[in-house]
Structure 1
Amino acid sequence: MQTTWTSPSLTFSYVTLEDLTPISEMLTKETVCRWLFFGPNLPEVTHAYFLPFLDENALALAEDRLPSNFVFTIRNRKTKAFIGQCALIADEFSPGAYLVGYQIDDPFWNKGIGSEAVTFLIWFAFRIAGAYRLNADTAAGNQGSARVLEKGGFVPEGRQRKYWHARGGYHDRLLFGLLTEEVKEDVLATLDRLFS
């Protein structure tokens, strides 16, 4: 079963035990966690969160099936340098709906990687995971993340006021959605060629 997908510049691979160290280091940073409702985390907190995904992946691979959730490490295709992680987390009450998530390490910001990660997740969700809907959210102050989602075709669907309490303040939560019928077949065909 395939576990890694590539674009001309990036690789997206199912998260492994070896990936937990760079992911944990990334999520100790105040800069990376500024707009997240969690973190900065101690490494053991990050490990505890990701270990069930690793166990699920191992079982799914042993049974030659897709896991329920899809958590990926993002690396530079040429250098193999760690860049971040992205995920599709299944909505337990709506089979076929997934929550989109991504964190990019701060040295790699403003290079289009967030947009490419979201594009990969859209392609993977609708081509491989069989999704009918993607959900996404971001703190209202995180304009960069909102732009990434809108650029990917996500539609703004609402605002939850003072939804998150983090780092001493309250943050509104912006909600976004993308339905399978909103992504044109020719776009997915182009992405089929991009993510070999």
Structure 2
Amino acid sequence: MQHTWTGGDLIFSYCTDGDLPEISRMLSKESVCRWLFFGPNAVEVTRSYFLPLIEGMQAALLEGRTPDHHVFTLRLHRTGEFVGQCALFPVDFSPGSYLVGYQIDDTHWGKGYGTLACRFLVYVAFAVLDGYRLNGDAVAGNTASLRVMEKCGFVREGLQRGYWHARGGCHDRVLLGLLRDDLPAGCIEPLAGAFSAR
């Protein structure tokens, strides 16, 4: 199983416990967590969430198995500077269906890294894991995240009113989806060509 890829000017690699300080710092920021239903988080909260996922992924990779969860760290290719993280989480009782997630540190906003991260997840889900469906969601006011997913081919499928309670209010949740069959014929190969093994 591949551990690391490059695409654009980013390196995508399965998270390790060495990435946790930077992930924790990012998820402690109000700016980054503004549209999330969680956070800002204390370091211990972020660590207690991610560490079991990381341990499970690393054990699977060491044994040559495909992990159940796929959480990736994004770093600049030139410098190794932390940019953010992205993930694919399996959907219960639907093998081949995944929920996408991504957070970009506020120091790297506006550079197209959210879109690149989402494209990477589409590539991994369909070209590496042979999945059939991706699920996405965002707070209705998070126009940047909605735009990212739509640029990557996701289609709005529904709205759950007042779904998330965060920062003193209730927020609508927009549901999006992307089926492998939605992609134009021959689209997977060029997508795979955009991300190379390291």
For the aligned pair, the TM-score class normalised by the smaller chain equals over 0.9
Map Cα deviations across residues 30-65 of structure 1 (whole Å, 9 max, x no partner): 000000000000000000110111111122112201
- Measure, in 1, the Cα distance between the counterparts of 2:143 and 2:8: 27
Distance 1:143 1:8, change over 3 A: closer
Supply the AA of the counterpart residue of 1:26.
M
Residue 148 of structure 2 corresponds to 148
Does structure 1 retain, via aligned residues, the 8 Å contact 2:7–2:195?
yes
Q: Percent identity?
A: 56
- Measure, in 1, the Cα distance between the counterparts of 2:130 and 2:188: 13
Shift of 1:8: 3.1
Matched, 1:19 2:19: yes
Map Cα deviations across residues 109-156 of structure 1 (whole Å, 9 max, x no partner): 111100000000001100111211000000000000000010000010
Residue 78 of structure 1 corresponds to 78
Aligned residue for 1:186, secondary structure, equals coil
- Measure, in 1, the Cα distance between the counterparts of 2:114 and 2:8: 15
Higher alpha-carbon deviation: 107-116 or 54-63: 54-63
Map Cα deviations across residues 5-50 of structure 1 (whole Å, 9 max, x no partner): 1013001000001100000000000000000000000000000110
Shift of 1:178: 0.4
- Measure, in 2, the Cα distance between the counterparts of 1:185 and 1:55: 37
Matched, 1:125 2:120: no
- Measure, in 2, the Cα distance between the counterparts of 1:37 and 1:23: 17
Aligned residue for 2:36, secondary structure, equals coil
Give the alignment's TM-score, normalised by structure 2: 0.97
Higher alpha-carbon deviation: 181-190 or 135-144: 181-190
The structure 1 segments of at least 4 consecutive aligned residues displaced by more than 6 Å after TM superposition are none
Residue 138 of structure 1 corresponds to 138
Measured on the aligned residues, the alpha-carbon RMSD in Å equals 0.9
Give the alignment's TM-score, normalised by structure 1: 0.98
- Measure, in 2, the Cα distance between the counterparts of 1:193 and 1:107: 28
Supply the AA of the counterpart residue of 1:19.
D
Supply the AA of the counterpart residue of 1:88.
L
- Measure, in 2, the Cα distance between the counterparts of 1:73 and 1:62: 18
Shift of 1:191: 1.6
Shift of 1:185: 4.1
Distance 1:76 1:186, change over 3 A: same
- Measure, in 1, the Cα distance between the counterparts of 2:180 and 2:118: 14
Unmatched runs of 5 consecutive residues or more in structure 2: none
